[in-house]
Amino acid sequence: MDIKLNEHFLDVKETYLFSDIAKRVKRFQEENPGREIIRMGIGDVTLPIPASITSAMEEAVKEMASKDSFHGYPPEYGYEFLRSAISGHYKAIGADSVTPESIYVSDGAKSDLGNLPDILGDNPVIIPDPVYPVYVDSNLMNGRKISFVNGTKDNDFLPEPPADTDIEPSVIYICSPNNPTGAVYSYEGLTAWVNFALRTGSLIIFDAAYEAFISEDKPHTIYEIPGAESCAVEISSFSKFAGFTGLRCGWTVVPDTLEAGGIKLSKFWARRQATKFNGVSYITQKGAAASLSGKGFEDCLANIAYYKRNATMLANVFKDRGIYFTGGVNSPYIWLKCPGDMGGWEFFDSILTRFGIVGTPGEGFGENGRGFFRLTAFGSYENTKKACDLFRTL
Amino acid sequence: MDIKLNEHFLDVKETYLFSDIAKRVKRFQEENPGREIIRMGIGDVTLPIPASITSAMEEAVKEMASKDSFHGYPPEYGYEFLRSAISGHYKAIGADSVTPESIYVSDGAKSDLGNLPDILGDNPVIIPDPVYPVYVDSNLMNGRKISFVNGTKDNDFLPEPPADTDIEPSVIYICSPNNPTGAVYSYEGLTAWVNFALRTGSLIIFDAAYEAFISEDKPHTIYEIPGAESCAVEISSFSKFAGFTGLRCGWTVVPDTLEAGGIKLSKFWARRQATKFNGVSYITQKGAAASLSGKGFEDCLANIAYYKRNATMLANVFKDRGIYFTGGVNSPYIWLKCPGDMGGWEFFDSILTRFGIVGTPGEGFGENGRGFFRLTAFGSYENTKKACDLFRTL
């Protein structure tokens, strides 16, 4: 063919992070047959979906089998029952302004993060480093100019807004609680970003996928911050809260108050979704709604508590050993400085050969990830405890 | 905010087609309380999902509730079991070359149609008129230049490739069986398009969403045509075949033999999907696989036969009345010339007031839709029969 392809795709670095990890683990297993592996690199949930939620989904499957209760094309922005339930959840976590009409249900946060740039023009993009790689890659695919704000030990991996006063209106990504660092913005920290966005005419894309892990007094949603409804969209998900990674459901909040050049952002997002998307499975949406009320909600919180107990165990070990880390409190992630100034890959090999523990080198998340390491709390209690006992001997 | 939006979105015409229809129907109902309405504008399936398929989905829901059988993030391009089943279906309909690895499972044909332009550069686009509006809108959103090939009574709504010899390499949309016209390309007709694409270095995006309705000897997939594997991607769906409109599952075939500028198209599509998409619900994929084998497959064919009986009834009426139409044979759609040179809206009002029948004016599908009208076979047998009796009095 002689058609032109989108050459910006060539700017996306192929990542070999997880295949490199898999290769090293495989070699280790071949050289050490029978040796136990403790996987702490998992970014996926492992607990099953609570019966209080699957029973709602079984009911929904049955509805699909009967002519009188069959559901065809779902509403493009989500069923009213789910948009209302999500709006209710926002009220419960302290944001009254999030109406059902401003909530656009989707097949997951990753899709929305990837598709949001569709409706934007050619703006500069500000992304924290270290970072979830999807922010960078989906903007590279559109040929956008990216600048990074640095997360380092000095700011506990919570980068502050640039000090420059002549910043162009930009698109700013913030993930709090952060993947991979587990760091969470305080009210003051997030307010600084909202004020920066308001002052520079910028848009914040706030990724709240790990909101449910927050237990300290920190903002669960950017809409707790005054002014956010004029400068921020928020993307969130049932994946980590309700264990829906395999079921695909998330949402984006686009307040009706967001305007640029006299155009409501919600109008463009609604049009994008109505044209290039056809809604989320009825069964998934019924399950999602069940996760936000009564027994379903309690059961999800119990699962979160299970992962958080793992995180606390890990955090206590590194605290006791005097190893610098972020996360572990309001997050399923622990982000630690590799001891003895090791690089991430060096530490990877070291704990794999000594302990049989697999984690993720910080190098996979950006320049500032060098010499850091991500451990996750999504494993079993038993394995996490074993890992903790081994880390104590570091 | 002072950020720039994607101003190409302003080029997308807001369509009031279905809201206009709804308004007119509402007014009619208010003025004629109690009068029966027969809805023949439905583009959605109405039969429930066969128990042979929902039982597989109930099983899948149960798996999600148990730690040992829980499924987290699905593979980004679909579970192997489903990609193999779809590949097997291609073998059954006469295309041996479609490997499981070339099949990318998604949440629906509309998403893939909307997202495919992501990986393409700024090529001219050739779209038939009348047409499913998503082709036009998703290219307008990217600012692409569109030219139309005309479907008319003269070519039975099966436009042929342009005769010009100096056509730039283009992106060509073909939908067969067509929505809204129900027209289906013959082997010769589709071969002409494949040869045109090969000669001009163009890419065909072939929409096969209505494949299952074909009963005559016509191509079910573009990969029945020699050379297509070097110039065509194919998009298809479980929506109309298995009644999955409410469950969201489709796929795109990107053969490894498709290359432009030395780059494999599959490489870019795989990267797009891995970056901006996170796979399809396990439950949906289990149901989709069940629809392609044994009892599930038979039950789907029985549902298709139900709709086709409706289509045949309708077709026979218009044949007997000497009214020109396409479709009705290999398609759930009947596309008819409004009698007496009426415009589509005029005919709409006429059959609504006389018969209480609701259909869709052809004007909603492009310039060449003027004076035509779409009826669908997705209603019940009883209502379709009533409508036929009324149409006989035209």
pLDDT in tens, B46-104: 999 999 999 999 999 999 999 999 999 999 999 999 999 999 999 999 999 999 999 99
CA quadruple B379, B381, B384, B386: dihedral sign:
negative
What is d(CA A117, CA A95) in angstroms, rounded to the nearest whole number? Answer: 25
Cβ–Cβ gap B203/A71 under 8 Å: no
Contacts of B288 in chain A (CB under 8 A): none
Query: Is the Cβ–Cβ distance between A174 and A204 less than 8 Å?
Result: yes
Return the percent helix, strand and coil in chain A, to nearest 5.
45, 15, 40
Best CA proximity match to B333, nearest among B174, B213, B185, B223: B213
3-state secondary structure of A206: strand
* Residue A290, pLDDT score: 98
Domains of chain A: 15-44+295-391 (3.90.1150.10), 51-292 (3.40.640.10)
Structure token pair of residue A64: 């699909």
Residues 6+ apart with CB under 8 A from B169: A1, A2, A3, A4, B123, B200, B201, B202, B203
| Per-residue confidence in pLDDT tens, chain A, 394 aa | 999 999 999 999 887 788 889 999 999 999 999 999 999 998 899 999 999 999 999 999 999 999 999 999 999 999 999 999 999 999 999 999 999 999 999 999 999 999 999 999 999 999 999 998 899 999 999 999 999 999 999 999 999 999 887 899 999 999 999 999 999 999 999 999 999 999 999 999 999 999 999 999 999 999 999 999 999 999 999 999 999 999 999 999 999 999 999 999 999 999 999 999 999 999 999 999 999 999 999 999 999 999 999 999 999 999 999 999 999 999 999 999 999 999 999 999 999 999 999 999 999 999 999 999 999 999 999 999 999 999 999 8
Best CA proximity match to B391, nearest among B341, B321, B304: B321
Contacts of B65 in chain A (CB under 8 A): 48-51, 54
Query: Is the Cβ–Cβ distance between A338 and A369 less than 8 Å?
Result: no
Contacts of B202 in chain A (CB under 8 A): 1-3
Query: Is the Cβ–Cβ distance between B37 and B355 less than 8 Å?
Result: no
Structure token pair of residue A253: 């909040």
Dihedral through CA B343, CA B344, CA B349, CA B351, nearest 10? Answer: 110
Average pLDDT score, chain B: 96
* Residue A43, pLDDT score: 87
* Residue A14, pLDDT score: 80
Cβ–Cβ gap A9/B65 under 8 Å: no
What is d(CA A119, CA A269) in angstroms, rounded to the nearest whole number? Answer: 7
A303-317 core/surface letters (b: 16 or more CB in 10 A; e: else): bbeebbebbbbbbeb
Contacts of B44 in chain A (CB under 8 A): 72-73
How many Å is the maximal CA-CA distance in chain B? 66
Helix intervals (H) in chain B: 17-31, 51-64, 80-92, 109-115, 133-140, 187-200, 239-242, 265-276, 282-291, 294-320, 344-355, 381-391
Cβ–Cβ gap B123/A4 under 8 Å: yes
Q: Measure B337 CA to nearest chain A CA, in Å.
A: 28
What is the percent of chain B with per-residue pLDDT over 90, rounded to a whole number?
95
Q: Is the ipTM of this complex over 0.90?
A: yes
Q: How far apart are the first and last CA of chain B?
A: 57
* Residue A234, pLDDT score: 98
Q: Measure B168 CA to nearest chain A CA, in Å.
A: 8
Contacts of A279 in chain B (CB under 8 A): 248
Structure token pair of residue A115: 């598709």
Query: Is the Cβ–Cβ distance between B200 and B167 less than 8 Å?
Result: yes
**DSSP designation for A152:** -
pLDDT in tens, B144-178: 999 999 999 999 999 999 988 789 999 999 999 99
Best CA proximity match to B137, nearest among B128, B124, B146: B146
* Residue B14, pLDDT score: 79
The alpha carbon of A153 is separated from its chain's Cα centroid by a whole number of angstroms, namely 21
Q: Which residue has the higher pLDDT, B41 or B194?
A: B194
Give yes or no for residue B276 having a pLDDT over 90.
Answer: yes
Q: How many CB atoms lie within 10 A of CB A198?
A: 17
The residue count for chain B: 394
* Residue A337, pLDDT score: 98
**C-alpha distance from residue A238 to each of A86, A108, B229 (Å):** 10, 8, 39
Q: Measure B377 CA to nearest chain A CA, in Å.
A: 15
Contacts of A201 in chain B (CB under 8 A): 1-3
What is d(CA A389, CA B79) in angstroms, rounded to the nearest whole number? Answer: 37
Best CA proximity match to B292, nearest among B249, B350, B339, B351: B249
Contacts of B51 in chain A (CB under 8 A): 65
Helix intervals (H) in chain A: 17-31, 51-64, 80-92, 109-115, 133-140, 187-200, 239-242, 265-276, 282-291, 294-320, 344-355, 381-391
Q: Measure B78 CA to nearest chain A CA, in Å.
A: 11
Query: Is the Cβ–Cβ distance between A212 and A300 less than 8 Å?
Result: yes
CA quadruple A190, A192, A194, A196: dihedral sign:
negative
What is d(CA A46, CA A53) in angstroms, rounded to the nearest whole number? Answer: 16
**C-alpha distance from residue B91 to each of A34, A89, B85, B234 (Å):** 42, 48, 10, 15
Determine the residue of chain B that is closest to A142 in CA distance. Answer: B118
Q: Count chain A–chain B contacts defined by CB atoms under 8 A.
A: 271
Mutate to test the interface with B, among A17, A53, A248, A376 (most CBs of B within 10 A): A248
What is d(CA B207, CA B252) in angstroms, rounded to the nearest whole number? Answer: 9
Query: Is the Cβ–Cβ distance between A144 and A155 less than 8 Å?
Result: no
Contacts of A114 in chain B (CB under 8 A): 275-277
Query: Is the Cβ–Cβ distance between A311 and A318 less than 8 Å?
Result: no
Contacts of A52 in chain B (CB under 8 A): none
Determine the residue of chain A that is closest to B51 in CA distance. Answer: A65
- Candidate from B61, B246, B281 with C-beta closest to A54: B61
Q: Measure A206 CA to nearest chain B CA, in Å.
A: 16
* Residue B83, pLDDT score: 98
Structure token pair of residue B141: 């959103």
Q: What angle do CA A309, A246, A361 make, to 5 degrees?
A: 55
What is the percent of chain B with per-residue pLDDT over 70, rounded to a whole number?
100
Cβ–Cβ gap B108/A278 under 8 Å: yes
What is d(CA A161, CA A170) in angstroms, rounded to the nearest whole number? Answer: 12
Q: Measure B134 CA to nearest chain A CA, in Å.
A: 6
pLDDT in tens, B366-381: 999 999 999 999 999 9
Residues 6+ apart with CB under 8 A from B16: none
Q: Measure B319 CA to nearest chain A CA, in Å.
A: 31
ω into B130 cis (within 30 of 0): yes
* Residue B144, pLDDT score: 94
Mean pLDDT, to the nearest integer, of B179-202? 98
Cβ–Cβ gap B246/A64 under 8 Å: yes
* Residue B18, pLDDT score: 83
- Candidate from B3, B44, B284 with C-beta closest to A171: B3
* Residue A31, pLDDT score: 95
Cβ–Cβ gap A65/B72 under 8 Å: no
- Candidate from A1, A67, A123 with C-beta closest to B169: A1
**C-alpha distance from residue B9 to each of A106, A177, B1, B69, B272 (Å):** 20, 33, 18, 44, 21
Mean pLDDT, to the nearest integer, of B331-360? 97
* Residue A164, pLDDT score: 83
